[in-house]
Amino acid sequence: MLAVQILIDGFAISALYALGALGFTLIFGVSGVLNLAHGAILVTSAMVAWYVGTDSGGGAFTGAAAGVAAGVVTAFVTYGLVVRPIQRSKAIPGVERELFVLTGTLLWGVMIQILLADVFTTTPITVEQLVSGTIDIFGVRTAANEVFIAVVSWAVLGLLWLLVNRTPAGRRLLAASINPRALTLVGVELDHVHLLAWGIYGVIAGIAGVLLGSFLGTSSAYIPALTGTAFAIVVLGGLGSVSGTVIAAYVVGYLETLTAYLVSPSWRAVPALILLLAVLYFRPQGILGRR
């Protein structure tokens, strides 16, 4: 019984972690950007979903749609206002560009956090669930929302795989991640590829933000922790590797769930952090890292 509980609970939370970190690794893989405003984009989506769905009474579906739209808008604004100007600036030496992008997105994330705190306060809120009720799985009463989250997360992962492997636009994304210079040589405008990547990133982050907000709640104060968790999972999986990210999300999710059930809920995060340290020490490229 306990084993089934751990399996189910761990599966849902891991799927959510995978989705939450997916966009982060995608944008690194395609454009080499470590977007430290990631948590801010997740929380913006969730906050907008709550504002439209609950506070203004728009309903769960309208709220969720608005949340995803907010994710896309924030992603494009992040790219257009912060990342692109730094990448194109002639004043910044090439070798330092990544560092500037890193700092730029970090500060941008802090700005969004302060703005959200000002508009919505730091009071935690929860996004209304799209499905309610509970489902009995092998005798374990499970919130239908958890099942829904797992299904949506895997559907998004599947769609991303199809997009990357089966469509021309997706192949360009893949090519940009492997050899951007060659891509420009065959006549592809790298800017368009980056714009597409940030668009996809916005959708994924928007969905992840709304789902996170409906399961775990959200607040502007959660932003640094969300960025941190996504970063940790992506480092564990190997920077830029989508499948590595999914594996790492499941490792972290199950490790946390096992600890919470078998040791103590107070110790939940500890073993995963120790594992992260160990990976950084013994296998710095991560589980499926390319370097």
Partner 1 sequence: MRLFLLCSRAPPLPPLLRLPALTLHRSWSASPHRWRPFGAAIANGAKLAVADINAKGGVDGRPLQLVIEDDQASSASAVSSFQRMVKQDHVVAVVGNWISEVALALEPWATRLHEPYLITGAASNDISAYVHKDYAERKYTFHAYFPSAFLAAGVCAASHDVLSTELNMKTAVIISEDAAWTKPLDTSLNQCLPDSGLQVLKEIRFAPDTTDFTPIFQQAESLNPDVIISGWAHVGVQPTVQWANQKVPLALAGINAQAGSSAFWKATNGATEGVATLNVAAPDVATTPLTIPFTNEYIKAYGVTPAYSAYTTYDAIYVLAAAIERANSTAPDAVVSALEKTDYVGTQGRLQFLGPDSQFTHALRFGPGFVTGVVIQWQNGVQKCIWPLNLANAKPEFPGFVKLPKLASAN
Residue 138 contacts partner 1 per CB under 8 A: no
List the interface residues with partner 1, window 62-121 (CB under 8 A). Answer: 114, 117, 121
Report the SS3 class of residue 223.
helix
Which among 283, 133, 286, 126 is positioned nearest to 214, based on CA atoms? Answer: 126
Amino acid identity at 249 = A
229/241 with CB nearer partner 1: 229
- Residue count at the site for partner 1 (CB under 8 A)? 43
Choose between 2 and 185: whose C-beta lies nearer to partner 1: 2
Sites for partner 1 among residues 230-269 (CB under 8 A): 256-257, 260-261, 264-269
- Smallest distance, partner 1 to C-beta of residue 122, A: 5
Contact 207, 16 (CB under 8 A): no
Q: Indicate the residue among 187 and 265 with the shorter CB distance to partner 1.
A: 265
Name residue 140's beta-bridge partners: 137
CA gap 37, 40 in Å, rounded: 5
Exactly one of 91, 95, 123, 139 binds partner 1 (CB under 8 A); that residue is 123
Q: Where are the alpha helices (DSSP H) in the chain?
A: 2-31, 38-50, 60-77, 84-88, 97-120, 144-166, 168-178, 180-185, 190-215, 223-237, 242-258, 270-282
Binding positions for partner 1, 5-24, rule CB under 8 A: 5, 9, 13
Q: Does 219 bind partner 1 (CB under 8 A)?
A: yes
Report whether 34 contacts 240 (CB < 8 A): no
| Helix pair 60-77, 190-215: axis angle to 10 deg | 140
Considering only 198, 201, 222, 254, the residue that binds partner 1 (CB under 8 A) is: 222
Residues 145-184 that bind partner 1 (CB under 8 A): 145
Please say which residue, 65 or 117, places its beta carbon nearer to partner 1: 117
Which residues form the interface with partner 1 (CB under 8 A)?
A: 5, 9, 13, 54-55, 114, 117, 121-129, 132-134, 141-143, 145, 215-217, 219, 221-225, 228, 256-257, 260-261, 264-269
